[in-house]
Structure formats: C-alpha cells, structure tokens
Structure 1
Amino acid sequence: MRITLTRVDVLLILVVFNEAPWYIRGSFQCQQMSSEIVRPHSVTITEFGAVGDGLTINTKAFQNAIFYLNSFSDKGGAQLFVPAGRWLTGSFDLVSHLTLRLDKDAVILGSINSDDWPLIDPLPSYGRGRELPGGRHRSLIFGRNLTDIIITGDNGTIDGQGSVWWNWFRNETLDYTRPHLVEFINSTGVVISNLTFLNSPFWTIHPVYCSQVAVQNVTIISPLDSPNTDGIDPDSSNDVCIEDCYISTGDDLIAIKSGWDEYGISYARPSTNIIIRRLVGETRSSSGIALGSEMSGGISEVHAENLQFFNSNTGIRIKTSPGRGGYVRNIYVSDVIMTDVKIAIRFTSNYGEHPDNFYDPLALPIIEKITIKDVTGKNVKVAGLLDGIDGDSFLNICLSNISLSVTSGSPWNCSYIQGYSDFVSPKTCEALQEGIYPKHLSDCYCVLNHMRSPTDPDRSTLV
C-alpha cells in the first residue's frame, strides 16, 4: 500500500534527522576507515631474530622491530609483517603510523608466564584494576597516545592462551587484574580487521579514551565458560565502527563502557557516536550487546543494526546501579534476530559492583530515549525484564515491531519504567502500552521508519 506523507509527516522526519546528525557522520566514518593504507617501509619479524616454532619467546624481536620502525613514523609510516608460523611473545607496544600485518597462517601466541605481561597503572576512569585494587597487567598488544594504527591480516590469528589466567582467576590467586588481548589508550585512527582473536585472558579488544576506531571482519572466540572474556569493549571512546564480526565468548559480545562510579564521573569522558552492524554471536552467560555496567562518564548516540544472537543468556542489556551516575541515552537498536535466548531485553538497575566505599549512592544514572525495534525471536524464555530505579525511572523506552516466541507464562516484568510501544508480541507490560504514533514520536529516539500517515487505516503498514 502506498503511503502519502503529509506536511506534518515531512516536518517530523526532518526534526528527527536534525536531532540525530551523528548517524550520517557515523556511517561515513565506517566507510572511511581502511586497513589498506600502503606503507612505504616494511620489514619482517624474522629480520629481528624471531623464531616461529611456538616455543621460542620473541618479545625482544617484536620490541626491537617496532623500535626500528618508529624511525619511519614521519616518513609515511611502516609495516611489520608476521609470516606463517607460531610466534610466542610477551606484551609489546606499537607506535604511530604502523601496520602490524599477519600472514593467513601466522599465529601470535601470548606467553603463559605472567612476568611477560608487565604491570601498568589503573585507568583513571576506574581508579583501580577492574578485578583487584592496584595496577593491572598490560595487554599483549598495547598502544598509548598513538595515531594511525592498523592491525590486520588475511585472517591470521592472535591467541592469548588465556586458560592459565582463567584458572588463576577461578582459584583466586591473582595479585592484579588480568590483561586484555589488545588495548589502545588515548589513540586516534585505529583499525583492527581481518583477523581471528582467541582465548583472551580478560576482555579481548579494548579501545579506551580513543577516537576514530574501526573493528571490521574479525572473529573472536573464547570458551563459553571462560570468565569475563568480553569481545569488543569501546570505553570512553567516540566515533567507533564495529561491523561484520562473529563473536563467541564467555561474557558480553560487545560492551560499551565509560568509567566506574566516582572515577568515571570525575574523568567525564563519554562513549558516543558508535555504530555496530552485521554482528553474529553467542554467549551463554551474558549479553549480545551490553551498555555498562561501567557507564559513569555517559553513553549516547549508539546505533546497532543487523544483529543475530543465538544460544545466549541475554540479547540486549543495559546494566547500571545507584552510585554510577552518568547516563545512557539516544540508543537505537534494530533488525535483531534471536534464537534460543533466555531473556531478549534486560535492564538491570542494581548491577552493584563498586570500586571502593567512596562512591556516592545518591549518584543516580539517567536512562532515557532507548529505541528497540524490528526484533524477532524463537524459543525465547522471557521477552523482557526491565527494572528501573525507585525514584529514578528509566524514561522514553520505545519498543516497536517486536515478535518473540516466548516460553514463559510471564513474558514481561517491568518496574520504574516509562515509555511506549507499537506492534509488540507478546503484549508488553502496562507501563509501555501507550502507542508511539503520533503523540509520542518525538519522545522516541530516531524511529524514522515508523512514520505513518494519520489517514491510513492500516496502522500496521510501515514506511
């Protein structure tokens, strides 16, 4: 059926576009980030004495090669090539204007000796290590204050050999927080593409205080029972593009963060302008996409689409708590397929881990303008567990065109939630049953294709 837009409809579309200019910038950012920059200088890791037998420790070879290539940073940059082989190494730093390129049969292996992962200071937006007070182990591949960094390859592999770290964690014998597999701090122009990441000791890819970050065409795998092996965690970062990824891990596939309680509030660097698209994955213990729980610096302007989650605990989740402060707002999630997922949508308002006893329990988070639309699910146990905070309701939660095959007799459970919905099955909780169109369209974030003609008798037809 053809729909004729009235002048009011057109004006509403223009208003929504004007309220969300980030969407255009974000898509452009995804298109512009590329791993195909040609570097005028290139060396191979074997030129620095590396041995790819899986037994020889090659940390010095990586460090020396990168130290040498740093001399070309003002001459167009350089490339370090890792050929076929199994290259055992401890943690090493990258430099600006560098490409680390792996052959399709190359495997960089993280050392199982904790001494090969040096200690560094905690992040200022966390105030301490995420797991333990004090410092933390540095990631296998690390960079700080860099510009123009590329890690890529023809599906080569970076394997953190994390099982030793998982055992230390389970046995409570860790002295410091576990390392990530890849971490960049305060860096700009980061591309990670066309690689497989295995068995991270902790979170896998962690850009923190970064801008202009692209993670594209990567596979991330850790055992489904491995502890806290998040896939990709943009943290207090902006202009991030994540696309065409497969992730199967023991924790959140993607977790957007921005600092922890009073430290995140003080550091005040949000995560914003984040595009996630064409993501497939599973996680038995956690979520496909999570916002928080460390969100004290704020999270906004997140657009996620074309997502497929299977065999998972939760599909879409917001995690926060009194004491976090900050905000999660202007979130748009669409075109989601869930299969064998326990909870499709979950808002958790008492995710209560705190860094210390100095947080302010009256620092309440602001959760508002969350749009979730075009979702289908098979064999979903619960449609939604949406828990706001007493005296701090989550506002303008907008659900539309959601169809879930739910096995529970109580598909929705909501508290301290306010919002709207259209075409949700099974029928949502009473707090969300008022329709979006036309009265509340402006209350919902970026629901462009739910513009309907008020003269059209078929209210189920979408533009």
Structure 2
Amino acid sequence: MMVETSTLGHFHHQRLDLRRWVPAFFTSHKTLLTLLWIAAFASVFLWQRNIVGGFLVYGGIPGRPMPMLRPMAFNLTDFGGVGDGVTLNTEAFERAVSAVSKFGKKGGAQLNVPPGRWLTAPFNLTSHMTLFLAEDAVILGIDDEKYWPLMPPLPSYGYGREHPGPRYGSLIHGQHLKDVVITGHNGTINGQGQSWWKKYRQKRLNHTRGPLVQIMFSSDIVITNITLRDSPFWTIHPYDCKNITIKGVTILAPVFGAPNTDGIDPDSCEDMLIEDCYISVGDDAIAVKSGWDQYGIDYGRPSMNIMIRNLVVRSMVSAGISIGSEMSGGVSNVTVENLLIWDSRRGVRIKTAPGRGAYVRQITYRNITFENVRVGIVMKTDYNEHPDDGYDPLALPILRDISFTTVHGQGVRVPVRIHGSEEIPVRNVTFKDMSVGLTYKKKHIFQCAFVQGRVIGTIYPAPCENLDRYNEQGQLVKHSASQNVTDIDYDF
C-alpha cells in the first residue's frame, strides 16, 4: 500500500534528518553548526513558552498540538475505490473507515484519497483518523438527495432549520469522535450543491439541506490544507465540539444563487482557532452560533474562546463575520483580527432578537480592513426569525463589552450601523483608531440607536452622539448627550 506523507509530520522528520546529518556536517562547518544550534535552541525555548498544561496557546485561545503521522496508512483504492467521477464509492469509504477504526488504540491510521474524482454518498469518520486528499483528489457528493440519510434536528434548534422534523446529514460526518484530521495537498471536497440550491428555491425539498462537513460532540479536530466548494448548505459545521483548528482552508461557492452556503459555522463550540483561510460564499463567510430561541436556551452550550485571524473573506449577500442570529446558548470571548473583507454587503455583524435570550459579550475586533463594503460594522437586535411560536418574547439577549480597534478601508457606504433597541440596548462599545474612506458623503453615516460606549482619540467619520469621547490618553473629553438617540437610515 502507498503511504503519502502529510505535512503534519514535517517537524518530526526534520528532527530525525538532523540527527543523521549532524555528524558528517560537524567537522567542516563548526561555525555554521553553532549558529544553527543556537537558532534551534531558541525555537524550542519559544515553543515551550507557548505550552501551558499540555496545550498550545493561540493568542489566549487554547488548542491541542497538531497530531503526528499515523503509524498506518491505507489508500481508498485498497477498498475498491474508483476515481472516475461516475462510480459510487460510498462502500469503499465505509470499508476504509472501518479498517482505520481498528487502529484507534495504536495511534490511529490515515486514509489516502489519490488523484481522481471520487463520487460518494455521505459517510462517517472515526476517531484517531486522518483523511488525506492528494493534490488533484476530489471527493464529490452525489447530488441525489435519496442517497443522503435523514437525521434528527439538532437539539439546540428543535427544528430542521428550513423545515420541521428531520434534516439531511452531511456529506462527511462524525459524532462523538476524538483526534480527527482532514487535510491534504489542497485536495477538494465538492458538494455539487447546484441541484440542491435549485430545488430549495423551487421549494421541492421536504427536509433541511445538509452541510458539507459536520462534526458533532467531538474534540481535537483539525481541518487544514484543503479546498471545500459548492456545499448544499453550510460548509463546515462543528457542533458542540472542543479544541478545533481550521487552518489554511479555501471555501468557495457562487456569491449569488447559492443560498445559505456559510463558510464556517462554529456552533456551541469551545476553544477554536480559525486562521489563514480564504472564503468567498453565498452567505456569511463565518457565523458563530449557539442554538435557536427556547431550544438553544434549554441546551445551554455557549460558543466561547474562539480566535479568528488572518482571513480574506467575501459575502455579497450577507456578512464577512457574523455572530448569531442563533446565539441562545451565549457567545463570549471571541477575537477577530487581521481580517480583509472585500466586495461584500456587510463587513462584521452581530444579529439577535427578542426570544433569543443569553448574551454576546467580550468580543474583540482588531485590524479590520474593508474594501468596497456596503455597511462595515452592523449590530441588529430585531432579526425576528424563529423556529416556532413557542419562544419567549421576554427572553432578551444581552449585548455588551464589544471593541473595535484599528479599522480601515475604502469604498464603504455606511461604516457603522448599531441598531440597539429600548429592550435590547448595546452596552460598553469601544471604537479606537478608525479611518474609513466613504463612497457617500451624507451627514449621518455613523448610525446609532440605544448604544452606550466610547470613542478613544480621533476617528473618521465622525461618530454618533450616543458615544462618550475620550482623548488618546484615556481622559474623558465629552459625555454623550443621550445614549438613546435614534439615527438609523436604511435608505443607503
């Protein structure tokens, strides 16, 4: 069987190569060797400083170290796989995953998907597994919904999301797993969502469409160095998971005509890193969620400790980075930094409504750039979409402790639109170091309603009157006249 070496084991093999190389190199290159050893020692020292109790630390967000190479590897062709784009490979994937599962106590195993087009119906992963897609390998989801199994609604939604009752499962699925890696040499997982989108628009589907990749109730998940495209519904949906890393991933769908093809939707997840990704899709590039109305309140699993950084994203119909609107388990300690949002309807958005309950708090945005974005920063408290009539309209969410530092860009119509309400005010919002080039020169382009917060230093355009003004030294210059001034203009 062929073993294809994953980049996840690169550091390990570097160390082994170094041990073989040092004796021969030492006699004639003492000076260079000394410098190399100093550099290596410094690297190890810095690496060890970032280890806290066995966990790597990503800017305050903990996550487990990358897994090493598996001791065993298989090829999909070993199990009858045929990569001609026509043969259905579901049974080959199932047999391969079953073989991998037998190595769980021995460090797991890797399933290599060679170059080719591997048509399949949905299949499940197993613990201690690496799914490795070679360059030019494409896993194709069959576009006939008869092959897609039905699953119960998510417990924090109580509803299929688009229809009551069961929902379609995901193309690649896993539940109650530990130590799973999906990686490769930028191979592709293609959901062939075109027929799903058409049937959805024509109202020919009786159940909610399925995600492309959904991992549930699991921990220690790594998704890296692959391309995902044309999902029937949300693309990557980790649900009630811990310790997740999504890195170096490209996610694509048409920017129009591909409904609800969110890129990455962390849902009731804890300790998560999303970095170095490119996302251009037909809905939110990233949407942080935690359940829907009374079902999410009862389930009670927040999304927390999430780092999102070094991304380029586009969303022509929705937003680059969203929180909500399904946030009824709570969302806290989310950092978004080093983000470019281009040619998009909205930049970063928080959306909620009466009935959601819970909170969105301790949210930090840093170094955000808008390039041709209609509305840069949005907070909306009347996003009134509900699973059924059983929600409690008095379950009011709390929005507070949200900061924006170093926000720049050009070609923006409305830089800020914070639409709090009397029942759901927005509290303790901070703006600092902001300068956004505008396409419209109307007077009220920094829009606020029922907002309390501060502006530190000088920002452009001029902020709304709801916010206190501080100088660069943090000294109060001017109190807001009223925190409840309403100045929202949806005409532009």
Q: What is aligned with 2:355?
A: 323
Q: What is aligned with 1:454?
A: none
Structure 1 residue matching 2:105: 3-state secondary structure: coil
Per-residue deviation, residues 29-81 of structure 1 (Å, max 9, x unmatched)? 87965555211111100111110000011011101110121111111101110
Structure 1 residue matching 2:232: 3-state secondary structure: coil
| Equivalent of 2:459 in 400, 405, 424 | 424
Shift of 1:117: 1.3
Q: Distance in 1 between matches of 2:186 and 2:65?
A: 16
| Equivalent of 2:372 in 340, 347, 351 | 340
TM-score (norm. length: structure 2): 0.83
Q: Which aligned runs of 4 or more in structure 1 are off by greater than 3 angstroms?
A: 28-36, 436-441
Per-residue deviation, residues 200-243 of structure 1 (Å, max 9, x unmatched)? 00000000100000000000000001101000010000000000
2:121 maps to amino acid: G
Shift of 1:116: 1.7
Query: CA 1:315–1:331 in structure 2 vs 1: closer, same or farther (change >3 Å)?
Result: same
Q: What is aligned with 1:152?
A: 183
Query: CA 1:338–1:439 in structure 2 vs 1: closer, same or farther (change >3 Å)?
Result: closer
| Equivalent of 1:46 in 53, 74, 77 | 77
1:431 maps to amino acid: N
Size of the alignment, in residue pairs? 419
1:45 maps to amino acid: L
Asked if 1:119 is matched to 2:150, the reply is yes
Shift of 1:391: 2.8
2:350 maps to amino acid: I
Asked if 1:245 is matched to 2:280, the reply is no
> Structure 2, unaligned stretches of length 5 or more?
1-51, 477-492
Asked if 1:67 is matched to 2:98, the reply is yes
Q: Distance in 1 between matches of 2:424 and 2:410?
A: 33
Q: Distance in 2 between matches of 1:167 and 1:232?
A: 22
Q: What is aligned with 1:200?
A: 231
Per-residue deviation, residues 388-435 of structure 1 (Å, max 9, x unmatched)? 121331100111111011223431221111111122210111112422
Q: Distance in 2 between matches of 1:301 and 1:437?
A: 25
1:411 maps to amino acid: I
Asked if 1:78 is matched to 2:112, the reply is no
Q: What is aligned with 2:122?
A: 91
1:26·1:241 contact (CA, 8 Å) conserved in 2? no
Structure 2 residue matching 1:232: 3-state secondary structure: coil
Q: What is aligned with 2:43?
A: none
2:421 maps to amino acid: I
Per-residue deviation, residues 339-392 of structure 1 (Å, max 9, x unmatched)? 100001011111111000000001000000000110101010101111012133
Q: Distance in 2 between matches of 1:63 and 1:168?
A: 28
Query: CA 1:359–1:43 in structure 2 vs 1: closer, same or farther (change >3 Å)?
Result: same
| Equivalent of 2:403 in 359, 365, 371 | 371
> Structure 1, unaligned stretches of length 5 or more?
1-20, 442-463
Q: Distance in 1 between matches of 2:285 and 2:455?
A: 27
Asked if 1:104 is matched to 2:96, the reply is no
Shift of 1:438: 6.2
Q: What is aligned with 1:282?
A: 314
Q: What is aligned with 1:211?
A: 242
Q: Distance in 2 between matches of 1:30 and 1:369?
A: 18
2:59·2:307 contact (CA, 8 Å) conserved in 1? no
Cα RMSD for the two superposed structures:
1.7
Q: Distance in 2 between matches of 1:26 and 1:272?
A: 15
Asked if 1:55 is matched to 2:55, the reply is no
Q: What is aligned with 1:389?
A: 421
Q: Distance in 2 between matches of 1:233 and 1:290?
A: 9
Q: What is aligned with 1:5?
A: none
2:175·2:218 contact (CA, 8 Å) conserved in 1? yes
Structure 1 residue matching 2:95: 3-state secondary structure: helix
1:33·1:191 contact (CA, 8 Å) conserved in 2? no
Per-residue deviation, residues 421-456 of structure 1 (Å, max 9, x unmatched)? 122210111112422766689xxxxxxxxxxxxxxx
Q: Distance in 1 between matches of 2:129 and 2:475?
A: 49
2:460 maps to amino acid: S
1:29·1:241 contact (CA, 8 Å) conserved in 2? no
Instruction: Percent identity, please.
Output: 48
2:381·2:420 contact (CA, 8 Å) conserved in 1? yes
TM-score (norm. length: structure 1): 0.88
Q: Distance in 2 between matches of 1:31 and 1:433?
A: 35
Query: CA 1:372–1:56 in structure 2 vs 1: closer, same or farther (change >3 Å)?
Result: same
2:61·2:305 contact (CA, 8 Å) conserved in 1? no
Per-residue deviation, residues 156-185 of structure 1 (Å, max 9, x unmatched)? 000000011101111111110000000000
1:289 maps to amino acid: I
Structure 1 residue matching 2:459: 3-state secondary structure: strand
Q: What is aligned with 2:49?
A: none
